[in-house]
Amino acid sequence: MKLLSHFSPKNSSLSPLSAPFFSALSFRLRRSTGFPVTSPPPPPPPYISVSPSLSCHVSSRTGGGAGGVVSMDSPSLDLAVSVDSVARDLKNQSLGSDAGDYSKRLGLKLEDINWDHSFVRELPGDPRTDTIPREVLHACYTKVLPSAEVENPQLVAWSESVAELLGLDPQEFERPDFSLLFSGASTLVGALPYAQCYGGHQFGMWAGQLGDGRAITLGEIINSKSERWELQLKGAGKTPYSRFADGLAVLRSSIREFLCSEAMHSLGIPTTRALCLVTTGKYVTRDMFYDGNPKEEPGAIVCRVSQSFLRFGSYQIHASRGKEDLGIVRALADYAIRNHFPHIDNMSRSESLSFTTGDEDHSVVDLTSNKYAAWVVEVAERTATLIANWQGVGFTHGVLNTDNMSILGLTIDYGPFGFLDAFDPSYTPNTTDLPGRRYCFANQPDIGLWNIAQFASTLSAAQLINDREANYAMERYGTKFMDEYQAIMTKKLGLPKYNKQLISKLLNNMAVDKVDYTNFFRLLSNIKADPSIPEEELLVPLKAVLLDIGKERKEAWISWAKSYIEELASGGISDEERKVSMNAVNPKYVLRNYLCQSAIDAAELGDFGEVRRLLKIMERPYDEQPGMEKYARLPPAWAYRPGVCMLSCSS
């Protein structure tokens, strides 16, 4: 039976996916999380055909898959962070000469950056350079210049760790022209700006050409470690991909993207980064809720940083255009492997990388004989690892369209995201997603599979992989996700081994009583592995999060706590040792939406202090940070109003 049909040049559609296959793997994914799901799973992808006889063998092992389990341990955390130290950190953001250790080290001046432009050099580009909205054919990018109007732009904040990553001298952030350079009003010496062409599925429907409608890449920096980092200005003006939009961004959404990029990195979750945030000094008209009530908002530009901004949709758009552009899919795949997956190019055929699929005939997939097969499998596994980490920390992306899926397995495009407050598996932070909750928290693992199916379909359309290889990539996604997720949850609970029943009961209890996700797991480390603790004292360590529960619910929690303590006692680890290890994977501080909103409200009045303070606090999410406890509090009542707990894609 044929697995994948090729894109039709006329309508970009593929033959339907076999519902039994997708449902079977989706069912396994949902069971593995233990979520008490109230929302339906996403429907099977309509553009890919898979044999219904495929049996996806998924592992229930506690350990990691072929690539091992990604550690959520925090790196070298300083456990004694005082209010004074946070204050000192804030002074660093004032760009004074007495800033912290990094600021005392000399780095590159902006004029001395080692630029490279491999994307422009190695891939086909648009012969036109105008920004008239249009279909850009047979090209991966269009050269454009930033065009956002500015008037006395100001630097809001900058990331020391990203500056260090790029090798920049901290004194460069004091330059009078810095805000002009990073708003795009002045040109950085050596930059070669362009906007990328890509397409994508949005809410399950093929949307055709999308592209960088307001993000303009400046080029790639090669740092002292020979690492390639792409710099991109988001909100820098119109491109041919802007469609009916103005190519600009507002301060509200820019603060959220800047802070969350850095917060996710500090949590240990793969993500794009953010170097700096500047205001434009101009106002932008936005209808935040698409309800016919637009208002003027301050404009801003974020400098995003990533090893690559290639997305699944970067490949889809060319496959959708038929035979004439299928060669571009191959060229883009070769580019990605050469620059970002060089180990695949260097694989020895003597390595044992042959695997038996779950198909009825137990077909063998040899990843050494086809580099594209090895590549799609690695993309699938990276994506699985990423989403498992999201589930572990309670992060909901909100817009998991295929144009928002990184081939590097990074969190990309921070729009209406949200961290769980009260645990609700059906939570979506995106008002546009409310009718079907396609992108709700519990559905994210399924959506990851759906998107991998689309990516595999694209590579098959370009004849880069065959049916068995596409099937195997999806199998590996399922296995990898479950291995990673189970390992993460085992660490979060401090268990000696994975216990599905215990975790499922816990998540059900949390959903029923709307328990704060972050604070619960942080407090859980205070429970002692002592079966002799009196029943009436079992829940004392959790009293701050188990609010207003009646007698019946209290009994349910006591029953769970007894089982949990018995499991802990069987591990033979001291309470002190377990507390340290649990606190290293259960953050005290996450970037809750209400914290973002407080910083936004102040920034819109010209006070950037709260943005800088949040940046510093979120750099150490696993530390206690004495004096900063208010940033770990439960959300206030006002946090549940529209525009705070839930947002639109307006930005």
Report pLDDT digits (tens) over 10-27.
Answer: 333 333 344 455 666 777
pLDDT tens for each residue of 160-187: 999 999 999 999 999 999 999 999 999 9
pLDDT tens for each residue of 531-570: 999 999 999 999 999 988 999 999 999 999 999 999 999 9
Distance (Å, whole) CA 156 – CA 302: 10
Asked if 203 and 224 sit in the same domain, the reply is: yes
Asked if 290 and 416 sit in the same domain, the reply is: yes
Q: What pLDDT does 47 receive?
A: 40
Residue that is last in its domain, among 514, 541, 572: 572
Least confident of 5-9, 331-335, 342-346: 5-9
Q: Which of 508, 517, 301 is nearest to 394 (CA)?
A: 517
Distance (Å, whole) CA 154 – CA 628: 27
Asked if 76 and 27 sit in the same domain, the reply is: yes
Q: What's the mean pLDDT in 3-11?
A: 35
DSSP of 162-220:
HHHHHTB-GGGGG-TTHHHHTTTSSPPTT---EEE--EEEETTEEEEE---SSEEEEEE
Residue that is last in its domain, among 521, 549, 572: 572
The residue count of the chain comes to 651
Backbone angles phi and psi of 540, in degrees to 5: -55, -45
Asked if 80 and 133 sit in the same domain, the reply is: yes
Asked if 91 and 39 sit in the same domain, the reply is: yes
CB atoms within 10 A of CB 504: 15
Torsion sign across C-alpha atoms 134, 136, 140, 141: negative
Residue that is last in its domain, among 572, 589, 609: 572
Asked if 57 and 105 sit in the same domain, the reply is: yes
Angle at 184 between CA 183 and CA 186, to 5 degrees: 110
Asked if 436 and 517 sit in the same domain, the reply is: no
Q: What pLDDT does 12 receive?
A: 37
| Residue 170: domain span | 1-496+573-651
Q: What pLDDT does 26 receive?
A: 74
Q: What's the mean pLDDT in 461-474?
A: 96
- For residue 533, give the 3-state DSSP assignment: coil
Is 194 within 8 Å of 144 (Cβ atoms)? Answer: yes
Asked if 427 and 558 sit in the same domain, the reply is: no
Q: What's the mean pLDDT in 46-53?
A: 34
Within 8 A by CB and 6+ apart from 322, the residues are 7, 8, 9, 10
Is 650 within 8 Å of 286 (Cβ atoms)? Answer: yes
Of all residues in the chain, the percent with pLDDT exceeding 70 is 81
Is 209 within 8 Å of 175 (Cβ atoms)? Answer: no
- In 224-337 the beta strands, taken as DSSP E runs, fall at 228-234, 273-286, 295-306
- For residue 66, give the 3-state DSSP assignment: coil
Asked if 487 and 522 sit in the same domain, the reply is: no
- In 312-396 the beta strands, taken as DSSP E runs, fall at 354-356, 364-366, 395-396
pLDDT at 113 over 70: yes
98 confidence band (pLDDT: 50, 70, 90): very low
Q: What's the mean pLDDT in 367-387?
A: 97
Distance (Å, whole) CA 357 – CA 195: 39
Q: What's the mean pLDDT in 241-261?
A: 96
Is 592 within 8 Å of 632 (Cβ atoms)? Answer: no
Asked if 544 and 409 sit in the same domain, the reply is: no
607 catalytic residue (yes or no): no
Q: What pLDDT does 85 receive?
A: 40
pLDDT at 103 over 60: no
Domain tally, the chain: 2
Q: What pLDDT does 356 receive?
A: 59
pLDDT at 507 over 70: yes
Distance (Å, whole) CA 643 – CA 646: 5
Q: What pLDDT does 15 receive?
A: 35
Q: What pLDDT does 360 receive?
A: 56
Angle at 120 between CA 216 and CA 411, to 5 degrees: 50
Asked if 102 and 39 sit in the same domain, the reply is: yes
Asked if 516 and 478 sit in the same domain, the reply is: no
Q: Which of 116, 325, 359, 403 is catalytic?
A: 403
Identify the helix (H) or strand (E) that includes residue 125: none
Q: Which of 488, 286, 462 is nearest to 386 (CA)?
A: 488
Q: What is the pTM of this model?
A: 0.87
Identify the helix (H) or strand (E) that includes residue 156: strand 154-158
